[in-house]
Structure 1
Amino acid sequence: MKPYRSLTNEEIAQLESQHCSAADWGSVEVAEAFKTDYIHHTRFSGKVRLGIFEDEFKLAGGMTKHAGLFYVTLHNVTVGDNCCIENVKNYIANYQIGEHTFIENVDIILVDKRSRFGNGVEVSVLNETGGREVVIHDRLSAHQAYIMALYRHRPALIERMKQIIGEYADEHASETGVIGKHVTIVDAGYIKNVRIGDFCEIEGAGRLKNGSINSNEQAPVHIGYGVICDDFIISSGSHVEDGTMLTRCFVGQACHLGHNYSASDSLFFSNCQGENGEACAIFAGPFTVTHHKSTLLIAGMFSFMNAGSGSNQSNHMYKLGPIHQGALERGAKTASDSYVLWPARIGAFSLVMGRHVAHPDTSNLPFSYLIEEKNTTYLVPGVNLRSVGTIRDAQKWPKRDLRTDPNRLDQINYNLLSPYTIQKMMAGRNILKELARVSGETSGTYSYQSAKIKNSSLNKGIHFYETAIHKFLGNSVIKRLEGIRFESNEAIRTRLKPDTETGTGEWVDISGLIAPKSEIERLMNDIESGNLNSVDRIHDRFAEMHAHYYTYEWTWAYEKMLEFYGLQAELITAKDIAAIVKRWQEAVVWLDRMVYEDAKKEFSLSSMTGFGADGSKEEQMRDFEEVRGVFESNPFVTAVIEHIKIKTELGNELIERLSNLL
Structure 2
Amino acid sequence: MNQIKKLPVGDLGYNFIPKEFLPEGENEYYIRFKQNPATDYRPLTRQEIAILKSNGNRSDNWSNILVREGIDVLLIEDCTFFGLVRIGKLEPYFLEFSQLRTPVGLYRSLIVSCDIGNNVVINNVRMLSHYIIDDEAILINVNEMSCTSHSKFGNGIIKDGEPEDIRIWLELCNENGGRKVVPFDGMLPGDAWLWSKYRANEKLLNAFKNFTDQQFGRQRGTYGTVGKRTIIKNTHIIKDAQIGSDAYIKGANKLKNLTINSNETAKSQIGEGCEMVNGIMGAGSRAFYGVKAVRFILAPFSQLKYGARLINSYLGENATISCCEVLNTLLFPAHEQHHNNSFLCASLVMGQSNIAAGATIGSNHNSRAADGELQAGRGFWPGLCVSLKHNSKFASFTMIAKGDYPAELNVPMPFCLISNDVHKDQLVVMPGYWFLYNMYAILRNERKFADRDKRKEKKQLLEYDFLAPDTVNEIFTALDLLYLYTGKAFYQKNQMVGCDKEYSQKGRELLESQAPIIAQLDIFANGIEHSQRPVRIIKALEGYAVYKKMICYYGTCQLIHHLNQSSDKTLAAVKNLFEKAGERKSWLNVGGQLIPEKEVKILINSIESGAVKKGWDEVHDFYQQQAKEYPIEKLLHGLSSLKEIKRMERPDLDAHLLADLFYEAIATREWIAQSVYESKVKDYDNPFRKMIYDTTKEMEQVVGKLKDNPFINEQAEETAAFKKSTELLIEKIKQHS
Q: 1:140 Cα deviation (Å)?
A: 0.6
Residue 349 of structure 1 corresponds to: 397
TM-score for both structures, normalised by structure 1: 0.93
Corresponding position: 1:187 with 2:234:
yes
Residue 674 of structure 2 corresponds to: 593
Residue 122 of structure 2 corresponds to: 85
Residue 710 of structure 2 corresponds to: 635
Residue 86 of structure 2 corresponds to: 49
From 352, 360, 364, give the equivalent of 1:304: 352
SS of the counterpart of 1:389?
Answer: helix
Residue 421 of structure 2 corresponds to: 373
Structure 1 counterpart of 2:716, one-letter code:
I
Q: 1:516 Cα deviation (Å)?
A: 0.8
Change in 2 beyond 3 A, CA 1:79/1:483:
closer
Structure 2 Cα separation of the partners of residues 415 and 563 of structure 1 = 21
Q: Is the 8 A contact 1:116 1:174 kept in 2?
A: no
Structure 2 Cα separation of the partners of residues 586 and 443 of structure 1 = 30
Residue 270 of structure 2 corresponds to: 223
Q: Give the number of equivalent residue pairs.
A: 650
Q: Is the 8 A contact 1:122 1:248 kept in 2?
A: yes
List alignment gaps of at least 5 residues for structure 1. Answer: none
Structure 2 Cα separation of the partners of residues 246 and 455 of structure 1 = 42
Structure 2 counterpart of 1:507, one-letter code:
W
Structure 2 Cα separation of the partners of residues 455 and 71 of structure 1 = 72
Residue 585 of structure 2 corresponds to: 505
Structure 2 counterpart of 1:356, one-letter code:
Y
Structure 2 Cα separation of the partners of residues 492 and 389 of structure 1 = 34
Residue 323 of structure 1 corresponds to: 371
Which 10-residue stretch deviates more, 592-601 or 188-197? 592-601
Corresponding position: 1:544 with 2:622:
no
Residue 605 of structure 1 corresponds to: 686
How big is the alpha-carbon RMSD for the aligned residues of Structure 1 and Structure 2?
2.2
SS of the counterpart of 1:548?
Answer: helix
Q: Is the 8 A contact 1:39 1:68 kept in 2?
A: yes
Structure 2 counterpart of 1:443, one-letter code:
L
Which deviations, in whole Å up to 9, do the C-alpha atoms of 1:487-517 show, x marking residues without a partner?
964354245554x98x952011113101111
Structure 1 counterpart of 2:338, one-letter code:
H
Residue 444 of structure 1 corresponds to: 522
Which residues of 2 match residues 393-472 of structure 1 at below 5 A?
Answer: 393-403=445-455, 406-440=456-490, 441=518, 442-450=520-528, 454=536, 456-472=538-554
Q: Is the 8 A contact 1:485 1:657 kept in 2?
A: no
Which deviations, in whole Å up to 9, do the C-alpha atoms of 1:393-427 show, x marking residues without a partner?
11111111233xx3334431111111111111111
Which 10-residue stretch deviates more, 227-236 or 631-640? 631-640
Identity across matched positions, percent: 22
Structure 1 Cα separation of the partners of residues 406 and 77 of structure 2 = 67
Which 10-residue stretch deviates more, 471-480 or 36-45? 471-480
Q: 1:485 Cα deviation (Å)?
A: 8.2
List alignment gaps of at least 5 residues for structure 2. Answer: 1-37, 157-167, 491-517
Q: Is the 8 A contact 1:266 1:281 kept in 2?
A: yes
Structure 2 Cα separation of the partners of residues 30 and 593 of structure 1 = 71
Structure 1 Cα separation of the partners of residues 384 and 364 of structure 2 = 22
Which 10-residue stretch deviates more, 41-50 or 600-609? 600-609
Corresponding position: 1:39 with 2:79:
no
Change in 2 beyond 3 A, CA 1:52/1:483:
closer
Residue 198 of structure 1 corresponds to: 245
Structure 2 Cα separation of the partners of residues 60 and 560 of structure 1 = 56
Structure 1 Cα separation of the partners of residues 610 and 443 of structure 2 = 43
Change in 2 beyond 3 A, CA 1:65/1:597:
closer
Q: Is the 8 A contact 2:125 2:142 kept in 1?
A: yes
TM-score for both structures, normalised by structure 2: 0.84
Which residues of 2 match residues 17-28 of structure 1 at below 5 A?
Answer: 17-28=54-65
Structure 1 Cα separation of the partners of residues 535 and 98 of structure 2 = 63
Which deviations, in whole Å up to 9, do the C-alpha atoms of 1:17-73 show, x marking residues without a partner?
111111111211111332311111111101111111115334468664321111111
Structure 2 counterpart of 1:458, one-letter code:
A
Structure 2 counterpart of 1:271, one-letter code:
N
Residue 650 of structure 1 corresponds to: 725
Which deviations, in whole Å up to 9, do the C-alpha atoms of 1:527-572 show, x marking residues without a partner?
2222323222211211221222111112222333333322333553
Structure 1 Cα separation of the partners of residues 589 and 108 of structure 2 = 54
Corresponding position: 1:7 with 2:44:
yes
Structure 2 counterpart of 1:475, one-letter code:
C
Structure 2 Cα separation of the partners of residues 443 and 96 of structure 1 = 73
SS of the counterpart of 2:242?
Answer: strand
Q: 1:648 Cα deviation (Å)?
A: 2.8
Change in 2 beyond 3 A, CA 1:308/1:488:
closer
Structure 2 counterpart of 1:295, one-letter code:
S
Residue 384 of structure 1 corresponds to: 434
Structure 1 Cα separation of the partners of residues 566 and 253 of structure 2 = 63
Structure 1 counterpart of 2:268, one-letter code:
V
Structure 2 counterpart of 1:378, one-letter code:
V
Q: Is the 8 A contact 2:319 2:333 kept in 1?
A: yes
SS of the counterpart of 2:130?
Answer: strand
Change in 2 beyond 3 A, CA 1:643/1:160:
same
Residue 19 of structure 2 corresponds to: none
Q: Is the 8 A contact 1:57 1:67 kept in 2?
A: yes
Corresponding position: 1:66 with 2:113:
no
SS of the counterpart of 1:134?
Answer: coil
Q: Is the 8 A contact 1:226 1:242 kept in 2?
A: yes
Residue 515 of structure 1 corresponds to: 595
Which deviations, in whole Å up to 9, do the C-alpha atoms of 1:105-143 show, x marking residues without a partner?
110111122222111131111111111012111111010
Q: 1:367 Cα deviation (Å)?
A: 0.4
